[in-house]
């Protein structure tokens, strides 16, 4: 029997008081809260009050698992019955130049896994997968749940935006977290990430928890706390979860910016490793790690060595590229990925060069991300329009030796003012010193 609105609001007030006083929520309590958030029967001021109480008196691990399931059950769950198993998903906590999904998803699908993934738009210096996909002419990311299932059955891969019917409580609560300064609450982060994975039907989830100045986790300790919480809560919620911590002190790969990142992803799908730039090789290394990890933990490879061999064979044979082409065409793309000339280009493309020889000691991901944001590659607010063509190409990584005059960063700008701003700021991001500096490994802590 449906609750009366008055009674529902009374119940929400009781939940606020329980959380405020450090009490314990039952699964039924959290179901009520998430249902009220999903159907908007609770006013925003009550939900905001509960979020602040939950920020100050965090949910326990058991409560977080119940909260995760309650958000997943607040709307429709994708029923992947009939989609070939294993069902897998991947999530990154966000970073500068992170275009991993664009290569990893078709690579996994070409290896025989089914990848059904809901992705988001970028905000601030962290780019969004959906924005990058929209740099591919004709590509759509707005797909209804049944169409997502049908596409996954047919080709084993679909990447789309979160629909209104999937984890709607998370959509409501996330928007309120953004305006109430409660985004950084660990249980709320964990619930938000995992609820969408459960609603999307995944059984195995691999998590890329970024660590460093270009991520939401500035220290290794912070990243480890988040990674461990995601794994423990995910298992309590019935998921097969694995989390690795990866470096975000410097950008991931060469490209920062939507069309530029699509181009780099295509290069990894089309070129042998020895034809890639040193910064793109680092990105490829990360893709290869997560692909092999997923094959192993989902049961398709008996060992790490076998998994790596399968990944390399799938890339070198062109099967991953063919799957990527099949995927983008299924979502409306009108271009051939292997052809050149169809990606939008910025009108001004100039490099910033090293003024002396030495070793690269710093490639600050946050500063470079901020430069790309100012150029128009990202959003300052949720309503901001992005410029798909602009961004940066980073030609060096920490530990590289450079000579005087060697390009450090290439700026792709809409106008002279944008280029000059980027040129003047690159010096704050990239440092060259006279003494050797050890390179930074891409993997901080394996899963």
Do the beta carbons of residue 155 and residue 326 sit within 8 Å? yes
Count the neighbouring beta carbons within 10 Å of the beta carbon of residue 253: 32
The helix or strand, by DSSP H or E, that contains position 402, with its residue range, turns out to be strand 401-402
Q: Is 382 a catalytic residue?
A: no
Work out the angle between the directed axes of helices 168-180 and 61-72 (0-180°, nearest 10): 120
254, 202: one domain: yes
Catalytic member of 19, 91, 117, 197? 91
Residue 74 located in a structural domain: no
Catalytic member of 19, 121, 171, 177? 177
What is the CATH classification number for the domain harbouring 311?
Answer: 3.40.1030.10
50, 142: one domain: no
Give the separation between CA 413 and CA 390, rounded to whole angstroms.
5
Q: How deeply is 61 buried, as exposed, middle or buried, from its count of CB atoms within 10 A (0-12, 13-18, 19+)?
A: middle
Last residue of a domain, one of 261, 296, 330: 330
Positions in the chain whose pLDDT score sits under 50:
1-6
Structural domain for 21, as ranges:
5-57
209, 288: one domain: yes
Nearest C-alpha neighbor of 233 from the set 207, 210, 215: 207
Residue 80 located in a structural domain: no
Catalytic member of 131, 170, 208, 247? 170
Give the pLDDT confidence score for residue 3 in this predicted structure: 40
CA torsion angle for 352, 355, 358, 364 (degrees, to 10)?
A: -40
322, 381: one domain: no
Give the pLDDT confidence score for residue 5 in this predicted structure: 42
113, 161: one domain: yes
Q: Is 412 a catalytic residue?
A: no
Q: Is 91 a catalytic residue?
A: yes
Q: Where are the alpha helices (DSSP H) in 200-254?
A: 220-236
pTM value?
Answer: 0.92
Backbone angles phi, psi at 229, to 5 degrees: -65, -40
* Residue pLDDT, tens place only, 238-276: 999 999 999 999 999 999 999 999 999 999 999 999 999
Give the separation between CA 444 and CA 299, rounded to whole angstroms.
24
Give the pLDDT confidence score for residue 2 in this predicted structure: 40
323, 355: one domain: no
Catalytic member of 196, 296, 323, 366? 196
Give the pLDDT confidence score for residue 8 in this predicted structure: 66
Do the beta carbons of residue 49 and residue 177 sit within 8 Å? no
What is the CATH classification number for the domain harbouring 418?
Answer: 3.90.1170.30
Pair type for strands 240-247 and 443-445: antiparallel
Give the separation between CA 373 and CA 131, rounded to whole angstroms.
13
Catalytic member of 74, 92, 114, 192? 192
Give the pLDDT confidence score for residue 153 in this predicted structure: 96
Q: Is 177 a catalytic residue?
A: yes
């Amino acid at each position: 029997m449906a609750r009366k609105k008055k009674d529902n609001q009374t119940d929400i007030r009781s939940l606020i008081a329980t959380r405020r006083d450090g009490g314990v929520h039952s699964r039924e309590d959290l179901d009520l809260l998430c249902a009220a958030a999903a159907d908007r029967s609770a006013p925003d001021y009550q939900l905001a009050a509960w979020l602040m109480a939950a920020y100050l008196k965090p949910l326990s691990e058991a409560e977080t698992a119940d909260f995760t399931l309650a958000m997943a059950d607040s709307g429709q769950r994708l029923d992947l019955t009939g989609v070939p198993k294993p069902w897998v998903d991947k999530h990154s906590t966000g970073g500068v130049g992170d275009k991993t999904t664009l290569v990893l998803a078709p690579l996994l699908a070409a290896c025989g896994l089914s990848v059904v993934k809901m992705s988001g738009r970028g905000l601030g210096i962290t780019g969004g997968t959906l924005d990058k996909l929209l740099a591919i002419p004709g590509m759509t990311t707005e797909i209804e749940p049944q169409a997502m299932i049908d596409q996954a059955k047919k080709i084993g891969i679909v990447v789309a935006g979160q629909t209104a019917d999937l984890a709607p409580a998370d959509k409501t609560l996330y928007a309120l977290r953004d305006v109430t300064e409660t985004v950084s609450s660990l249980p709320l982060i964990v619930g938000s990430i995992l609820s969408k994975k459960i609603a999307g039907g995944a059984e195995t989830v691999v998590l890329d928890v970024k660590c460093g100045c270009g991520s939401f986790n500035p220290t290794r300790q912070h990243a480890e706390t988040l990674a461990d919480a995601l794994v423990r809560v995910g298992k309590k919620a019935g998921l097969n979860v694995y989390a690795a911590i990866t470096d975000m002190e410097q950008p991931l790969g060469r490209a920062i910016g939507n069309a530029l990142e699509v181009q780099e992803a295509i290069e990894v799908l089309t070129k042998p490793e020895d034809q890639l730039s040193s910064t793109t090789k680092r990105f490829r290394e990360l893709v290869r790690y997560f692909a092999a990890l997923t094959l192993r933990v989902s049961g398709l490879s008996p060992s790490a060595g076998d998994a790596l061999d399968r990944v390399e064979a799938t890339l070198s044979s062109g099967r991953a590229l063919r799957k990527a082409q099949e995927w983008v065409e299924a979502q409306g793309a009108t271009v051939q990925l292997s052809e050149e000339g169809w990606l939008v280009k910025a009108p001004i493309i100039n490099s910033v060069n090293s003024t002396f020889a030495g070793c690269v000691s710093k490639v600050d991901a946050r500063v470079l991300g901020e430069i790309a944001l100012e150029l128009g590659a990202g959003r300052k607010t949720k309503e901001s329009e992005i410029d798909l063509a602009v961004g940066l190409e980073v030609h060096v990584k920490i530990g590289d030796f450079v000579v005087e005059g060697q390009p450090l960063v290439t700026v792709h700008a809409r106008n002279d003012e944008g280029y000059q701003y980027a040129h003047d700021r690159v010096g704050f991001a990239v440092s060259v010193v006279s003494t050797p500096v050890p390179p930074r490994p891409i993997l901080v802590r394996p899963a």
